[in-house]
Amino acid sequence: MKTESKQVVVIAAGPAGLAAAIAAVENGVDAKEVIILEKTKMTGGTANMGMGPLGIETRQQREGMMGVTREKAFRQFMTYTHWRSDSLLVKKYIDKSADTIEWLEGMGVKFVPSKFYEESEPTWHYVIPDEGRPGPRAAGTMTRRMTERADEMGIQILLETWATGLRKEDGKITGVYATNAAGEELLFECKAAIIATGGFASDHDMMKKYTGYTYGVDIFSYEGDALTGDGIKMAWEAGAGKTEMHMELNYRIPDNMNFFSIDAVMRQPNLMVNLFGERFYDEGQLGNGTFTTNAIDQQKDRKCWIIMDESIKKRYEKKGLDLISMVHGADIMDIFDKDVESAIASNYKYFVKADTIEELCEKTGIDQAGLEETLETYNHDCEGGRDTLFNKDYRYMKAVKKAPYYAACFCVAAYGSLGGIKVNHKLEVITQEFEPIPGLYGAGTDVCSIYGDSYVFQLPGNTMGFALNSGRMAGESAADYVSAEE
């Protein structure tokens, strides 16, 4: 076994791992004594698919007169989670978030703050990409700047090298075992290890065991080849405590990237029903992905259908969609008809175009009697000016009467997993009895159990924000530990 000595070993080079390594060096660890082990062929992890992190009381918010404060955000966060989260960790994360945005700006990253939906706070800081406008995958620019910063500092990054376990002696972490693409077994002796492996979204057995979801049946989560819970398992083997584990839920049509405009155009506050043909949610709140997915999660087969008619489609073509976000641009209607043709030609089962309600029900599996009863009440309410069931905002009360009808099946999905490794507010990994394991730290999704049972969506950018800020905090704590051990 090839052996090499370092002071700090960071496991994975996503935003949490990159932030941890850079922070460790900034806080006194010699860059030559820090190494990052990355399982895949590139840095950034699933953050490369994202758009940007949370920031509170940033320069950009102040300049735009966006009045969200750290105190308000903390109260919102803790009230939302019913205080079932580590208040000290949440407070440190929120208080550090503006500094982290400035820290990234120092690396050349540019941001524009915004809301995700109308009722949310303007905490999401979209990354301005090297090319094009902010949107999906823009955060890849941010992780590239972080990688460049790590390279400039002299931090070694080993790609296609994955950690396989931790060496623990006399109660302390003293090394990280790894394997590389050539099949070599490696040991990196160290004083501190930081786990930031991004969760278990690609380990379907682990997902089923700890969250109850069956991939491809009742959940359609985003995946990454490396997200197999490696860091969580090795931390448990070293004595780390376990936390509750959840999926960071959202809703979408399966395979939505191949039918992007259908997902966007049908993800509007129109009639939404379950398989019984019943409304079960105030569709005016569709912008809140957490609330919407929680409601869908309670329905039969964890799915629903959103329905619009030809008149609604024509209105969208003329006036634009009701709900527009940076994810789905204002010009999305321009490609809708093309995607509809493609969906029909490929027999895509999650989208239906029908000339009658009977045909729509036959193709979707919605109970016809139930849907017809719902339509009678719903259309009457649209004409009468008030939603008598959920009091939905009247702006979104549009009758469904004119064929053809369009329906899309929205299912429970997830951005990834949450939690697994128990940590304290210093990002020290701790046992079930709350005792720190000397030399072991965690960051990012592997330790993100601060949301309770539901992602705090009214403060958008949270998960990437937590990854970056917890990474920095873990790096700082590891640096302090290394210094004390010398």
Q: What is the pLDDT of residues 155-205, one digit of tens each?
A: 999 999 999 999 999 999 999 999 999 999 999 999 999 999 999 999 999
Q: In whole angstroms, what separates CA 173 from the centre of its chain?
A: 30
Integer Cα distance of 148 and 462 in angstroms: 24
Integer Cα distance of 212 and 430 in angstroms: 26
- Domain 2-245+419-485 and domain 250-413, same fold? Reply is no
**pLDDT tens, position by position, for the chain (486 residues)?**
999 999 999 999 999 999 999 999 999 999 999 999 999 999 999 999 999 999 999 999 999 988 889 999 999 999 999 999 999 999 999 999 999 999 999 999 999 999 888 889 999 999 999 988 888 899 999 999 999 999 999 999 999 999 999 999 999 999 999 999 999 999 999 999 999 999 999 999 999 999 999 999 999 988 777 899 999 999 999 999 999 999 999 999 999 888 999 999 999 999 999 999 999 999 999 999 999 999 999 999 999 999 999 999 999 999 999 987 767 666 899 999 999 999 999 999 999 999 999 999 999 999 999 999 999 999 999 999 999 999 999 999 999 999 999 999 999 999 999 999 999 999 999 999 999 999 999 999 999 999 999 999 999 999 999 999 999 999 999 999 999 987
Integer angstrom CA distances of residue 23 from 12, 239, 443, 478, 479: 15, 26, 12, 9, 8
Q: What pLDDT sits at residue 326? A: 67
Integer Cα distance of 182 and 63 in angstroms: 51
SS3 category, 189? strand
Q: What is the pLDDT of residues 408-441, one digit of tens each?
A: 999 999 999 999 999 999 999 999 999 999 999 9
Q: Is the pTM of this model over 0.75?
A: yes
Q: Name the residue ranges covered by the structural domains of the chain.
A: 2-245+419-485, 250-413
* DSSP run (H or E) holding 204: helix 204-211
Task: Dump the DSSP string for 53-81.
Answer: -B-SS-HHHHHTT----HHHHHHHHHHHT
| Cβ–Cβ < 8 Å for 443, 195 | yes
**10 Å Cβ neighbour count for 169?**
9
Identity of the residue numbered 306: I
Tokens of 169: 């002696």
**10 Å Cβ neighbour count for 226?**
20
**10 Å Cβ neighbour count for 62?**
12
Domain 2-245+419-485: top CATH class: alpha beta
Please check whether the domain covering 250-413 is classified as CATH 3.90.550.10: no
Q: What pLDDT sits at residue 136? A: 85
